[in-house]
A and B are shown apart, each in its own frame.
Chain A
Amino acid sequence: MSPDERDGRAATGTPSSVHLDGITKRFPGVIANDDVDLEVERGTIHALIGENGAGKTTLMNVLYGLYEPTAGTVRIDGEPQTFEDPGDAMDVGIGMIHQHFMLVDTMTVAENVVLGNEPTKWGGIVTDRARANRETQALADRYGLEVEPTELIEEISVGEQQRVEILKTLYRGADILILDEPTAVLTPQEVESLFDILRELIAEGKTIIFITHKLGEALEVADEISVLRTGELVGTVDAETATREELARMMVGRDVLLEVDKPAASRGDLVLDVEDATVEDDRGVVAADSVSLGVHEGEVVGIAGVDGNGQSELIEAITGLRKLTSGTITFDGRDITTDSRRSRVSAGMAYVAEDRQKRSLVMEYELRRNGLLGRQHLRPFSDGRLIDWGATADYVDDVIEAYDVRPTDPSAKAHSLSGGNQQKFIVGREFERDPSLVIASQPTRGVDIGSIEFIHNRLLELRADGKAVLVVSSKLDEVTQLSDRLAVMYDGDLIAVVDPETVTENELGLLMAGERPEDLDLDGARIRGTPA
């Protein structure tokens, strides 16, 4: 069966392609979806937005055949459907592109695309590579997806890998494509080209459902936007007429300040001084090369960059989780280059790690035990030998209350919390210890709008209290809004420090994609050469 034949079922004449009718999905103790109706017209892009835990992914998992709904029906092209598993959903043309790609790194683009449905020759015993390449190329041309079929996955960019994921789904005959947070890993330019691809796909009669919590993207690319809140459908609006404020209100249930209100900085002494830091990654490859950076009291310094350009390794070196190959780190006037992680924590360094489920939380521990993590040797949590569970419980209760962590039960295990609540708990635990330096890596990754606003405000309060704050984020709006100075990292180099007030998103995007600052039309004042 060629891809063209698979596409044969596209036109059946019914206007609505996906019709979810009264979908309810109940888990023990939780109603993830409550009587949700959703109608998606053929040949349109439908954005599904909502906070963490609003039930977006559950709803799509019902549509994709991963969950069976407790009540309600799924109709595709007017036909009621029952899916046992994603294979059944695939059979009626539903494909899902997950946030984390499922590609084999050491295989070529074409091999990944045809994986599981390989064209064969010699009576079915050998993969017909030439035909796989040809079919991949034909499919790519048809939908305007630029890929090179013979390249290896490990050698192509994240944006290209996503295109391969889309091709894979199309090759399997998908008419309805579900994309889960597709822009999370892309540069602004890559996002633009993804949107072009999506527009091309609907022009060809495909239907797209797009899960996001970035309002701007939903408004830009979608035809219609449906908002979920606590498992219920709040409403579906026309993207032409909707506004960001209106959508944010629908998502959160109250008015939200989208812009951060930031008073002028009053910069004090240098707190953190990184000089010529060179750091290797786990494979021994230089990840950050001779990076110099300083953070002062009362100042927020941001580091922007696409994930994987050395930010993580640099931060781990500063926080004491990774050794420096060369260079020095000074903290509060003291050389801490060779200090242990423990002594850095004791000296007042708070750290919200990028990978919260790996680093900042012990997933099997209750919140109470997690409240101790990093401070278990320090008063008032212990005398160095015996843990003071009373003092710990008081502290954890305070954090839960002040940071609105849900559930409010300190004996809840970390893994039972949603990503946003996990993050609020970590942020609270780290911020409330009166640190002199706060390092926050992707502080709002996977966190809903209401909590983002809260975390941003807390960071700015710390700044107002004269703390030094270092924020790493792959979200451009986040770093530009929070930072007083913004450093951009590309391929291990800190290539520029810019003024976030005046730099444009386009310029930042180009810097993040590796354009040298001197090649850009940035005027001299906006490039603050050597930081610190």
Chain B
Amino acid sequence: MTDDSGSIRERGSAALDRLVDATAAERITISLASLLFAIIVGAVLVFVSGFVADCADPFIYLPGLGYGCYNPLEVYWTMLTGSFGSMTVIGQTLLQTTLLLFTGLSVAVAFRAGLFNIGTQGQMVLGALATALVVLELAAYVPDNAIGMVIVLSTGVIVGAIVGGFWGMIPGLMKAYANAHEVITTIMLNFVAIGIAFWLVQVHVGDLTTDSVQTETVPAVARFPATISGSRFSVIALIGALLVAAGIYLLYTRTVIGYDLRTSGIQETAAEYGGVNAKRNIVTSMTLSGVLGGIAGAIYVMMVQYRWQAGIPPLGFDGIAVSILAGNNPVGVIPAALLFGSLKTGSVAVDLSLGVPGELVEVLRGLIILFIAMPEFFRMIGKRFGYGNGSVATDGGEAQ
């Protein structure tokens, strides 16, 4: 009775059902298995690429194939030591992790509430610029000591949050009151944000003594104190990020506001039935998401770059991947951001010390992210299309 196409289709949907219903432990196991697979596939890729490349000291000669340049084990070992091998690189890893925590949480906060904020990048860029300008101004009026630092840093974070929040509120308003889909509007507002920031800095508020598009460098009082020598990483920012993760987790699991926010985003009509102003809550969710994007920008200026400079790395877009990898769970964002952060610093080390081209290292990084994120991604899609426990319509006609 069954033929191939039918059984494949049925097996596919059975697999989706299982994936959607997977427990937390199963999902972690799946992620670890995916990591292993990604490393194996990447190793083969690196190994094979080594025969195409030219190098002075090949590590292997295979008759018929020629000289192989790259040792996959060495590459992965360097990646690991390059992200955790010394205090300095651990500092760099945690620095990236802190930023990715904020951008990942920014995306997750919206996602949890059923909204897809792709505008974290723009919110971060504008938040960063506002922070840079305000702290540059403010630094002149505060004492050059710990008190001054507390004042400047906290003001900087608040300003970044306000501007990022404002930039997130715009697509929220458009979604709630004009029915404009947030995916489209947030993508477009990214371009607008980056364009505005670039223009402002280039023409009006930038450091006009240099040719590059950047502001002046912020003074020491506006820099997060470094925790580890050799790195700009500050544990204060990391602790702040972890507290925010915990706060968002509690918001969505324990509070009435979180319940209302989430219900409004997931099913607006049901939220109205539940006595909630769904439109206002959609705006709030997007604003909150923007606030976190803006804080990421503030931290970037005050902990990493010490100025606003054109070409801010795509941390906001990485945040989308972090959030998806975490299943949009604010606590899950913590390990996801750590993985991303370590891959980022680790690949820099591979690039620098082994002479493996940066592009190939990017591929290895991409493979790991892809392999780990795919099961979560299929899970989300499966959920969207109604797979999972009991959603099989045994009586579809009447389920209405």
Residues of chain A at the chain B interface (Cβ within 8 Å): 27-30, 32, 52-58, 60-61, 68-69, 71, 73, 82, 84, 98-99, 180-181, 211, 213, 231, 320-321, 340-342, 344-346, 351, 353, 355-365, 369, 372-374, 376-377, 382, 384-387, 389, 407, 412-413, 415-420, 445-446
Contacts and interface: CB of A to CB of B under 8 A. Distances in A.
Interface string B249-283: 00000111101100100110111111110000000
A363 to B, nearest CB: 7
A324 to B, nearest CB: 16
B10 interface: yes
A57 B398 contact: yes
Interface string B1-32: 11101100010001001100000000000000
Given A363-B267, A387-B255, A446-B399, A416 B390 contact: yes
B63 interface: no
B397 A341 contact: no
A365 B271 CA distance: 12
Nearest to B396: A57
B145 interface: no
B256 A356 contact: no
11 contacts: A56-B395, A68-B2, A68-B10, A82-B3, A213-B398, A320-B275, A345-B275, A386-B255, A387-B256, A415-B386, A446-B398
A384 B271 CA distance: 16
Given A55-B395, A387-B256, A374 B10 contact: no
Given A68-B6, A351-B273, A374-B275, A54 B395 contact: yes
A377 B275 contact: yes
A362 B14 CA distance: 25
Interface in B42-64: none
A373 B396 contact: no
A445 B400 contact: yes
Interface in B354-398: 383, 386, 388-398
Contacts of A374: 273-275
Given A68-B6, A386-B254, A418 B259 contact: no
B392 A28 contact: yes
A204 B254 CA distance: 65
B11 to A, nearest CB: 11
A286 B3 CA distance: 55
B7 to A, nearest CB: 9
Which 10 residue pairs are nearest across A and B when measured between Cβ atoms? A342-B275, A416-B390, A57-B397, A27-B392, A32-B394, A359-B273, A419-B399, A373-B274, A374-B274, A341-B275
B14 A28 contact: yes
A69 B388 CA distance: 20
Contacts of A341: 272-273, 275
B194 to A, nearest CB: 34
Contacts of A369: 259
Contacts of B390: 29-30, 407, 412, 416-417
A384 B254 CA distance: 11
Nearest to A381: B256
Contacts of B266: 362, 364-365
Contacts of B395: 52-58, 418-419
User: Which of B6, B18, B263, B395 gathers the greatest number of chain A CB atoms within 10 Å?
Assistant: B395
A163 to B, nearest CB: 20
Given A57-B396, A353-B273, A376 B388 contact: no
A481 B336 CA distance: 59
Contacts of A27: 392, 394
A376 B398 contact: no
B398 A181 contact: yes
Interface in B198-257: 254-257
Given A69-B1, A360-B273, A362-B271, 16 more contacts: A29-B390, A30-B394, A54-B395, A61-B396, A82-B3, A211-B397, A341-B273, A341-B275, A344-B275, A346-B275, A359-B272, A362-B263, A364-B267, A373-B270, A418-B399, A419-B400
Contact of A68 (B1, B256, B259, B383): B1
Nearest to A357: B400
Contacts of A73: 1
Contacts of B260: 376
Interface string B180-204: 0000000000000000000000000
A358 B269 contact: yes
Contacts of A55: 394-395
User: Which of A384, A445, A446 gathers the greatest number of chain B CB atoms within 10 Å?
Assistant: A446
B400 A446 contact: yes
A356 B269 CA distance: 10
A376 B400 contact: no
Contact of B257 (A321, A385, A412): A385
B270 A385 contact: no
Nearest to A68: B6
B382 to A, nearest CB: 13
A214 to B, nearest CB: 12
Contacts of B389: 29, 412-413, 416
A447 to B, nearest CB: 9
Nearest to B276: A342
A56 B267 CA distance: 30
A181 B2 contact: no
A227 B255 CA distance: 48
Contacts of B254: 386-387, 389
User: Which of B6, B257, B270 gathers the greatest number of chain A CB atoms within 10 Å?
Assistant: B270
Contacts of B273: 321, 341, 351, 353, 359-360, 373-374
A362 B270 CA distance: 6
Contacts of B396: 57-58, 61
A181 B259 CA distance: 37
A503 B34 CA distance: 69
A433 B257 CA distance: 22
Contacts of B2: 68
Contact of B392 (A30, A345, A377, A417): A30
A181 B394 contact: no
Given A27-B394, A341-B272, A373 B263 contact: yes
Contacts of A345: 275
B78 to A, nearest CB: 44
Contacts of B391: 413, 415-416
A349 to B, nearest CB: 10
Contact of B398 (A52, A363, A384): A52
Contacts of A353: 273
A57 B10 CA distance: 19
A413 B386 CA distance: 11
A360 B398 contact: no
Contacts of B257: 385
A218 to B, nearest CB: 15
A360 B397 contact: no
A362 B400 contact: no
A386 B383 CA distance: 28
Given A321-B272, A342-B275, A372 B259 contact: yes
B397 A181 contact: yes
A446 to B, nearest CB: 5
A53 B392 CA distance: 11
A187 to B, nearest CB: 20
User: Which of B263, B276, B386, B398 gathers the greatest number of chain A CB atoms within 10 Å?
Assistant: B398
Contacts of B259: 369, 372, 376, 387
Contacts of B275: 320, 340-342, 344-346, 374, 377
A435 to B, nearest CB: 14
A180 B274 contact: no
A61 B397 CA distance: 10
Contacts of B14: 28
A376 B394 contact: no
A382 B256 contact: yes
Contacts of A355: 269
Contacts of A61: 396
Contact of B270 (A56, A211, A361, A412): A361
B3 to A, nearest CB: 8
